[in-house]
Amino acid sequence: MSCVYCDLPEIQAREIARNDLARVLPTNIPITPGHLLVMPLRCVTTFSELTGEERAAIFDLTARARDALIKEYGAEGFNYAWNEGGDFGQTVPHFHIHIVPRTTGDTGITKYEPREFLYRPGSREKTPEDELQAVAKAMRVYF
C-alpha cells in the first residue's frame, strides 16, 4: 500500500524535526498558519497499532512542536486531533496528530461544541447521571 507521507519526496523534504520513532511536518492544507502534523516513522493506520515507545516519541515531539508554535506564531491555545477510519475523517492511512495553533480572532475552528463539528448536529439534552454511572461501570471492566 502506498502512503503519501512515506513515499512523496516533497513531503519528506518538509520534515521539521524527528526523533528515533516519530517526525513533525507542516500539513499541506492548514487550518491556521503553523498547523503541523506529528506522526510515527513506521506507517501504521491507527493509534492502537503504535507501540508504547512510538506513542511516547509522538507526544514528545507534540510537546516540542507546541512550544515552537508559541514562539514562532504567538499561539495562545491549540486544537489537537486525530481521525481514525476513512468514513470518519482519516484521509491518509498513516496515523498522525494535528496540532493547530490558535490565536484570538483567527479563522480556524470557531465552534467548540463537539456535537456541532464532529457528530450529531443540533441540540441534545444532558445525559442523566445514572446513565453516565452505568457507562462508567460497564467500561471499568476493560481497565
* CATH of segment(s) 4-140: 3.30.428.10
Instruction: Residue 62: name the closest of 44, 42, 37, 79 by CA.
Output: 37
**Cβ-contact 95, 39 below 8 angstroms:** yes
What are 63-110's pLDDT values in tens digits?
A: 999 999 999 999 999 999 999 888 878 889 999 999 999 999 888 766
pLDDT recorded at residue 139: 80
Q: How far apart are CA 86 and CA 91, in angstroms?
A: 6
| Sign for the pseudo-dihedral over CA of 5, 10, 12, 13 | negative
Which sequence spans correspond to the domains of the chain?
4-140
User: What pairs with residue 97 in β-bridges?
Assistant: 38
pLDDT recorded at residue 120: 45
* Residue 22, all three cell numbers: 516519530
- Among the ranges given (71-75, 109-113, 117-121), the one the predictor scored with the smallest mean pLDDT: 117-121
- Which residues carry out catalysis? 96
Q: How far apart are CA 69 and CA 59, in angstroms?
A: 15
Q: How far apart are CA 107 and CA 17, in angstroms?
A: 27
pLDDT recorded at residue 42: 97
Give SS3 for 42.
Answer: coil
Q: Model's pTM, two decimal places? A: 0.80
